[in-house]
């Protein structure tokens, strides 16, 4: 595993890992306790999908969701977040929908810099390993996504630095 791999240490819950695997790619993994066809169903049926895609713990609310989940179909998601006055729209096309193993979609809200997301569902004898793979068109596009969505780069870093300095000075 690479240095950048990050995992959940919370007891009792399956681990979710996330890693930047290359200049252009992010990979998220998780194993679910159920057969692939059920995990696929929860992902591909809009009435089920909208129950888990926008976690309330992140302050995200799902305002609307329309999807035609089949190869060549499209989707449009509108979500709200307290940090953003305007709701955010996410939309794209399904490049491939192959039950119960694979869904591929585009993320067109970012224009030409949007990633292509591939989700695979691997049956592991009653359990399912899900791999979410996001491929950006260029290193710059992924760097930009990270830079623009990072939480106020400078002021926060200064606070941390201040704290470090105070700690160090206290230690004398």
Partner 1 sequence: MVQFSTSRLDASFAALSDATRRGVLEQLGRSDASITELADKFHMTLTGMKKHVGVLEQAGLVTTQKIGRVRTCTLGRDQLAEETAWIEEYRRLWASRFDALDQIVEELKQKETLDGRRHTD
Given the rule CB under 8 A, which residues bind partner 1?
Answer: 3-9, 13-14, 16-20, 26, 28, 30, 32-34, 38-39, 41-43, 48, 51-53, 55, 57-58, 130, 132, 146-147, 149-151, 153-154, 157-158, 161, 164-165, 168-169
DSSP 118: E
CB of 128 to partner 1, least distance (A): 8
Question: What are the C-alpha distances in Å from 137 to residues 29, 107, 118, 141?
Answer: 21, 11, 14, 6
Q: How is residue 160 written in tokens?
A: 């941390």
Q: What is the distance between the alpha carbons of residues 143 and 146, in angstroms, rounded to a whole number? A: 5
- Residue 64 or 150 with smaller CB distance to partner 1: 150
CB of 44 to partner 1, least distance (A): 12
CB of 50 to partner 1, least distance (A): 11
- Which one-letter DSSP state was computed for residue 138? S
């Amino acid at each position: 595993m690479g240095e950048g791999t990050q995992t959940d240490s919370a007891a009792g819950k399956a681990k979710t890992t996330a890693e930047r695997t290359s200049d252009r790619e992010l990979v998220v993994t998780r194993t679910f306790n159920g057969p692939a066809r059920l995990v696929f169903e929860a992902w591909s049926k809009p009435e089920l999908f909208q129950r888990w895609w926008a976690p309330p713990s992140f302050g995200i609310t799902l305002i609307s969701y329309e999807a035609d989940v089949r190869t060549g179909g499209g989707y449009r998601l509108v979500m709200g977040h307290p940090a953003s006055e305007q709701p955010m729209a996410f939309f794209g096309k399904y490049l491939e929908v192959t039950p119960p193993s694979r869904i591929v979609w585009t993320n067109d809200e970012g224009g030409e810099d949007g990633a292509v997301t591939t989700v695979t569902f691997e049956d592991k004898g009653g359990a399912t390993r899900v791999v979410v793979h996001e491929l950006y068109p260029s290193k710059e596009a992924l760097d930009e996504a990270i830079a623009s969505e990072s939480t106020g780069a400078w002021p926060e870093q200064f606070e941390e630095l201040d704290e470090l300095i105070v700690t160090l000075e206290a230690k004398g």
